[in-house]
């Protein structure tokens, strides 16, 4: 039996959000599509957003409050990674704290979070920074092209990682979007 057939026997709806249309097999990296536990049957909406996590529709993912309890490891891993991505949202953080994965599954889930191909953003202590983190500025920083100075101790919530430049993140200070050098930040 093909993997797709096997998954469709396991579920007739998207295993993440319950959608019934446009279902495809999604094999969860870095596993191969060699067994059903390594893949999930998901809909086009989920698939697009998993592939393009910067353009995510947060409300769609409330579905994880239910699907995270799936017994299928591939679904658990997808839920874990997405909740982790959305953890600046209170509900996602809560769900992540409740989600229990066995050791192997957890390792698999985390494996996908720090991809070697993506640049690693680190704060002044070498702690890895991720999208949505909150940081504190460790030194007075003049803002290029303006008279503004970001004072030491300023907290910046919900940071965005600068595209392909691991030395900078961006975030809002006093309502203004500015770039900050990661080595002068401390993760909260
Ligand atoms: Zn879906």
76, 111, 146: which is the final residue of a domain?
111
Query: Model-level pTM?
Result: 0.62
Query: Percentage of the chain with pLDDT > 90?
Result: 73
Which pair of structure tokens corresponds to residue 88? 């600046």
Q: How many domains does the structure of the chain reveal?
A: 2
Per-residue pLDDT at 1: 76
Q: Is residue 129 part of a domain?
A: no
Mean pLDDT of 140-160: 91
- Indicate if the pLDDT at residue 122 is higher than 80: yes
Q: What's the gap in Å between 46 CA and the centre of ligand 1? A: 4
Q: Nearest-CA neighbor of 10 among 51, 68, 70, 61?
A: 70
One domain, residues 39 and 94 = yes
pLDDT tens-place string over residues 156-169: 999 998 877 889 99
Q: What's the gap in Å between 81 CA and the centre of ligand 1? A: 15
Per-residue pLDDT at 118: 56
Range of the domain at 62: 3-111
Which residues sit opposite 24 in a β-bridge? 42
pLDDT tens-place string over residues 69-98: 999 999 999 999 999 999 889 999 999 999
Q: What's the gap in Å between 45 CA and the centre of ligand 1? A: 6
Per-residue pLDDT at 134: 96
In the three-class reduction of DSSP (H, G, I as helix; E, B as strand; rest coil), residue 4 is classed as helix
One domain, residues 64 and 99 = yes
Mean pLDDT of 136-140: 96
Per-residue pLDDT at 116: 43
Q: Is residue 10 part of a domain?
A: yes
One domain, residues 60 and 151 = no
One domain, residues 45 and 83 = yes
- Indicate if the pLDDT at residue 54 is higher than 90: no
Mean pLDDT of 45-65: 93
One domain, residues 104 and 182 = no
Q: What's the gap in Å between 60 CA and the centre of ligand 1? A: 8
Helix or strand (DSSP H, E) at 121: strand 121-122
Q: What's the gap in Å between 23 CA and the centre of ligand 1? A: 8
pLDDT tens-place string over residues 90-119: 999 999 999 999 999 999 998 877 554 457
Q: What's the gap in Å between 50 CA and the centre of ligand 1? A: 10
DSSP assignment of 10-78: H-SS-TTT---SSEEEEE-TTS-TTSGGGEEEEEHHHHHHHH-GGG--GGGGGGHHHHTT-S-HHHHHH
One domain, residues 95 and 144 = no
Q: What's the gap in Å between 153 CA and the centre of ligand 1? A: 41
Per-residue pLDDT at 114: 57
Per-residue pLDDT at 163: 75
One domain, residues 107 and 18 = yes
């Amino acid at each position: 039996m093909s993997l797709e057939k096997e998954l469709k026997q396991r579920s007739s709806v998207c295993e993440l959000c319950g959608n019934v249309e446009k279902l495809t097999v999604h094999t969860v990296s870095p596993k191969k599509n060699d067994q059903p536990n390594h893949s999930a049957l998901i809909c086009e909406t989920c698939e697009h957003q998993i592939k393009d996590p910067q353009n995510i529709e947060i409300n769609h993912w409330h579905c994880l409050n239910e699907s995270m309890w799936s017994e299928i490891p591939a679904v658990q891993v997808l839920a874990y990674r997405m909740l982790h991505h959305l953890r600046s949202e209170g509900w996602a953080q809560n769900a992540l704290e409740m989600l229990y994965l066995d050791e192997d599954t957890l390792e698999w889930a985390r494996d996908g979070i720090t991809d070697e191909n993506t640049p690693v953003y680190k704060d002044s202590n070498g702690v890895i920074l991720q999208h949505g983190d909150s940081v504190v500025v460790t030194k007075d920083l003049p803002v290029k092209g303006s008279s503004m100075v970001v004072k030491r101790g300023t907290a910046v919530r919900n940071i965005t990682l600068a595209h392909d430049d691991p030395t900078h993140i961006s975030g809002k200070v006093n309502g203004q979007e500015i770039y900050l050098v990661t080595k002068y930040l401390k993760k909260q």
